Structure 1
Amino acid sequence: MGKQIEHPVGLLARLGKNQAGNTLAIVAAAMIPLAGMIGGGLDISRGYLGQTRLQQACDAGVLAGRKLMGTSGVLTSAVTDEVRKYVKFNYPNNYLGSTLQDANIVPTLGANDQIVLTVSTTVPTVIMKLFGKDDMTVSATCSGRNDYSNIDIVLVLDTTGSMACKPEFTSDECKNWIYNNNRADQTMTVDGKTVTYVLEQTNSGANISRMQALRTALANLQTQMATIESQFNMTEQGKRKRVRWSIIPFSQMVNPGFSTGTAGTTLYTRYPTWFNTTGTYRAYTCGRRSCGYIEDEEGHSSTWMRDTWDGCVEEQSTSNSITSTSSTVPATAYDMNYNTVPTSTATRWTVADPSKVGTAQYACPKAMREMQQMTASQFNDYFSLTNGFAANGGTYLDIGLLWAARLLSRNGNWASDNPATYNTYPVNRYVIFMTDGQMDTGNTGYGAYAQETTWRRVAANGTVATSNTNHTARMLITCAAIKNMASTKIYTISFGAGAPLSQDLIDCSSGAKNEYAFEAANASDLNNVFRDIGENIGSLRLAQ
């Protein structure tokens, strides 16, 4: 009898129960969604790369365009071309298979003269096109603004005796060089007045002093600001911004008496009642049996004021209770209350008279300059040695900053010089504080607070250590006050081998080391620091 043919239903039933080979079928069925997932991830990554690169290109384009536009506020075809050039350079054609045409890059002018740009393109897919998704759209939006506002710069500059040395000298090396080479106590006549100074160091006829390095760095800073000012001047008169300067050389005193304002007249000429022309002075004198300080009250004639006075002053009445632990300033410390109006003997500045203090060390720096616009020649002439910008004296780091606070206060004696806006634009203020040394007040020299060992106006015990500590406390209090003023920043610079960047200088500044506090070991470093500060002051910014 022949073999029976199996019923089809039975075959299918057994196949349904048989699990052999199922994995292959499952894998085959999963390949399609798996390919979609992997392809999707790959193409999403490509899209992210395209998006990131396009945003970078957009940012570069608006910054370049905004720089070219300057202060004109006009989006010219040249500006548009500049934007397109930078966008296409940073997002080249065929990047990830995509292209950018000029029609995709159309900048517009936004509020406050910002350049605004939205740019988009399509990135072709690699895997997802198999599933009907041929490309992805990526886009970027950016805007660039010109952060130039009105610029006020206060230069607080150490002109102590060590500034005559080359930057590479340590403090001791500098002192020895000055002494061994008889460089101190040089004199010259400037504007009819005798100026005593330390002769600057040279090498084969070339000036290699810190003072000369400072002059070079400042000249380059002025050139940077002049470039900005030339852009300001491209717009109409009523809409122009401005760059202004104030200069405060300091050593153990500051010279406000002969400071000139915008009208070109001296502070004493404008406000003679701000100064005590009669003062009490002490000279260390030795008699037959003992030595001591002899006090003398001197009233100075108008002739002496005109022909002899050099412009330096003793400070307003103060309090020696201000120490490193002080959190407030006593009301009787008129000098530290920066808005004090000089209407009484205690609140006025007393004219300095070195002839009444015996052999006490004395140094009067070049007269400070109140806030004003300056041409390149006016600026550079100010810092000329032959015009009296010379090194001499001890290091009172607080005294220069004290005058900076006064000149910047919008509530004090110079309030009219400090508008919050000019031609409707805000005013940003910057203090650049440069020193080549640590606090070194001594206690026998004739400084802004007279001889500390006998007057004890700052240090209750009259010692050098306490004087230095208390002057440092005053410096930091003043730094904090300046930084609390609206739209005001402080840059600090330590210059030379004798002046490592101290924590006090970092704390005085408006930020971190190498951001607002800098160390310059030599002339080249100093020039680079001033260049970087200039670039930070005059800079372009991304608005988004």
Structure 2
Amino acid sequence: MKAAKSFLQELRSNTAGNTLAMAGMAMFPLAAMIGGGVDVSRIYLVQTRLQQACDAGALAGRRQMGSGTWTANSNAANTAARNMFKANFDTDAFGSYDGAYAFTENAGTVTGVATVKVDMAVMQMFGFGTKNVAVECDASMSIPNTDVMFVLDTTGSMNCPDTGSTYCSNNGNTEASNARIRGLRSAVKCFYETLAKRNSSEDCGSTPAAGSENTAHLRFGFVPYSTNVNVGKLLPNDFIADRWTYQSREAITRAENVIVDYTPGTPYLYGSTFYYDGGWSGRSTVETHYNVRNRNACSDLQPEDYDDMSGSEGAPYGHSTWTSGDDQITRWYTDVNGTRYDYSTSYSSRQDRCRIRLRTRDLVERREYRQINSPVYEQQQVFSRYDYKPVTFDVSGLKAGGSTWNDSIDLPVGNEGLDTGVTWDGCIEERQTVRTSNFSPIPVAAYDLDIDRVPTTGDPATQWGPLLDTAVWGRYNSYGSRTTSTVSTASNLSRNFSYTCTNEARKLQRWDTPSDFDAYLDDLDAIGSTYHDIGLIWGARLLSPTGIFESENAASASGGAIDRHLIFMTDGDTVTSSTQYTSYGVEWYDRRRTSASSAPSSNDLTSQVNSRFLAMCNAIKNKNITLWVVSFGNGVSAGSITNLRNCATSGKFYNASNSAELLANFRSIANDISQLRLTN
């Protein structure tokens, strides 16, 4: 008994083998922890891949929708969303099953919902069976802070039909029913609808989604261009020079004794004329004589006829003046009323009676007076001739303070050098340039190609000049040939050059009122030749964040960064002429960018325009501005297409053969400018 008790006591106090029992008991919670980790990892992986597929589907659907509607093209956007989802998630992946997904759209935002089921692999032992995994996603097209500058070709050829290959220069300066300029207006309005989410007057095939109006910094600017650009009145007064040189004329005078007055002479009666006023009175007997022997004796008794001019002299009238030699002769008339007395006799031999009879008639004496006035001389300068040549004029009178301008100025270019009103429509002459064919790099002294140089007040090399066509003359010699020599003549020469000025450009601004945007485009006129360089130069200047409008362009109102886009559209090759008044003067006479020693040919000028255009393309792209280039119509040569393609930012060149394609191009650009993003 004692031995048995001792064994049990020893067994109780012996701890050998306890670890194994405890390890066996710990296996259950450890299995739960490891199994839970495995299943949670599977759920997380499924959820992550499901979210990625949902996001991809929403983005694909929103991109397919573009600026159109969700249901357009047989629900193509929804189809694209579903296909993208399926391409990114297999519903059997990772043990998932019973997958479901759907995409909807509201106010421009695409929303996706996706669900799958996942069976637990380990946690089923602990009573956890199936897990439902669900995700949501949203995608929308949003506008970052954006500035868009349109540089639009508004040359005469934009009046031509938008289809066909028949040559057309300007369609008689009348818009065809399907004119390219009309297609351009439509495309830009639809671009506005797409980007600004506001309805224009154009039928763009869809309506911007309600409630999607842009609240970001979004501005549009315009530079219509042809031979010139109309930007002058957008500039501060200090950016325009006070004095500018024009191909004009100067009146030349000579000293001469000039009659400035006359010393009055003494009036004198030069002569008189008489005329009757009314008819004769009836004859009446005024005397009767008897015992008159015969008729002759009776006649001897007849009084003499006479005129009684005792009436008062009337007021002078009929004044006139002329010169004879240097004398001035003044003439005038007066009238004096009187009576003509006319006597006759009547004789009776039977009674030896002689009667004296009288009739009267009113008489007017017209007296002519004259006065000879002696000249008073003074030596003066008088007109002699015109010298047709370059003339520097003070044009500061156009400045009205700040950025306000007068529309005209008086210059001494009128008849015989008199001041006459010269109007300014806003087109400008460019500042200093250089004569070169090498623009890589752009010469430092070529201020005209410097996008950001701010003019220095008082330094005309850095400033611009007003383009004043009515102050400009070409000139030609006695053989009718153009010449750069001074031409002296008293005649008014004809202006042997042509001139056009485009519609006024617009700085970058918000266009929250669609009717204002529409009205600007509707007013664009197509006229003039094609000078691509000047349009691009000013598009860059008005868009640059570091140039003449830095204070307006550097950042958004909140200080945020801005995406900048320049859209350049043209319908043709460069077209130049040496007889046009351009931003570099009348090219034949001024020769500011071609050889000074010979007249430029059209080839010379075209080469200059193209070289400067391409130099400006590179300068714009170097400023981190996206440069979109659109060629419009079938009239653009292969060489110009190459230049336009090289001008554009890589992948940003479009070629539209008609208005429908142009609209599609502009809409595509707008969609690319919009940023596709996930909103949830």
TM-score interval, normalised by the smaller of the two chains? 0.5 to 0.7
Question: Structure 1: which 5+ residue stretches go unaligned?
Answer: 1-49, 69-81, 106-112, 125-134, 184-197, 202-206, 260-266, 285-291
Distance 1:145 1:165, change over 3 A: closer
| TM-score in terms of structure 2 length | 0.53
- CA distance in 2 between counterparts of 1:234 and 1:405 reads 30
Give the fraction of aligned pairs with identical amino acids, expressed as a percent: 28
Q: RMSD across aligned C-alpha pairs, in angstroms?
A: 4.6
Partner of 2:390: 295
Partner of 1:519: 655
- DSSP-derived class of the 2:671 partner: helix
Greater percentage in strand: 2
* Shift in Å, 1:118: 10
Task: Indicate conservation of the 8 Å contact 1:452/1:463, yes or no.
Answer: no
- CA distance in 1 between counterparts of 2:198 and 2:118 reads 40
Tell me, yes or no, if structure 1 residue 474 matches structure 2 residue 612. yes
* Structure 1 residues 360-415: Cα deviation after superposition (integer angstroms, max 9, x where no partner): 12110011000110121111101123xxx101111110111101221222222100
* Shift in Å, 1:277: 5.0
- DSSP-derived class of the 2:628 partner: strand
Tell me, yes or no, if structure 1 residue 413 matches structure 2 residue 545. no
Greater radius of gyration (CA): 2
1:123-522 matched pairs, under 5 angstroms: 148-170=143-165, 173-175=167-169, 178=171, 183=172, 198-201=173-176, 207-227=177-197, 240-259=215-234, 267=235, 271-276=236-241, 278-282=243-247, 294-300=389-395, 301-302=397-398, 305=408, 308-321=423-436, 323=437, 325-342=438-455, 343=457, 344-355=459-470, 356-357=472-473, 358-374=495-511, 375-385=513-523, 389-423=524-558, 425-460=560-595, 462-486=600-624, 488-500=625-637, 502-512=641-651, 516-522=652-658
- DSSP-derived class of the 1:247 partner: strand
Opposite residue 377 of structure 1, the aligned amino acid is S
* Shift in Å, 1:495: 0.9
- CA distance in 2 between counterparts of 1:492 and 1:407 reads 17
- CA distance in 2 between counterparts of 1:89 and 1:281 reads 66
* Shift in Å, 1:446: 0.7
Distance 1:116 1:451, change over 3 A: same
Opposite residue 187 of structure 2, the aligned amino acid is A
Opposite residue 428 of structure 1, the aligned amino acid is D
Distance 1:521 1:140, change over 3 A: same
- CA distance in 2 between counterparts of 1:123 and 1:531 reads 48
Distance 1:369 1:141, change over 3 A: same
Opposite residue 370 of structure 1, the aligned amino acid is K
Task: Indicate conservation of the 8 Å contact 1:232/1:241, yes or no.
Answer: no
Distance 1:89 1:210, change over 3 A: closer
- CA distance in 2 between counterparts of 1:418 and 1:354 reads 32
Partner of 1:27: none
Distance 1:123 1:443, change over 3 A: farther
Q: How many residues are treated as equivalent by the alignment? A: 412
* Shift in Å, 1:164: 1.1
Partner of 1:534: 670
| TM-score in terms of structure 1 length | 0.65
* Structure 1 residues 174-222: Cα deviation after superposition (integer angstroms, max 9, x where no partner): 13x73xxxx2xxxxxxxxxxxxxx2212xxxxx3211111111111111
* Shift in Å, 1:65: 8.6
Tell me, yes or no, if structure 1 residue 100 matches structure 2 residue 213. no
* Structure 1 residues 432-454: Cα deviation after superposition (integer angstroms, max 9, x where no partner): 10011111222221111112233
Task: Indicate conservation of the 8 Å contact 2:546/2:554, yes or no.
Answer: no
Distance 1:319 1:63, change over 3 A: same
Task: Indicate conservation of the 8 Å contact 1:165/1:200, yes or no.
Answer: yes
Question: Structure 2: which 5+ residue stretches go unaligned?
Answer: 1-46, 66-76, 104-108, 121-129, 200-207, 250-386, 399-405, 410-421, 474-494
Greater percentage in helix: 1
* Shift in Å, 1:232: 12
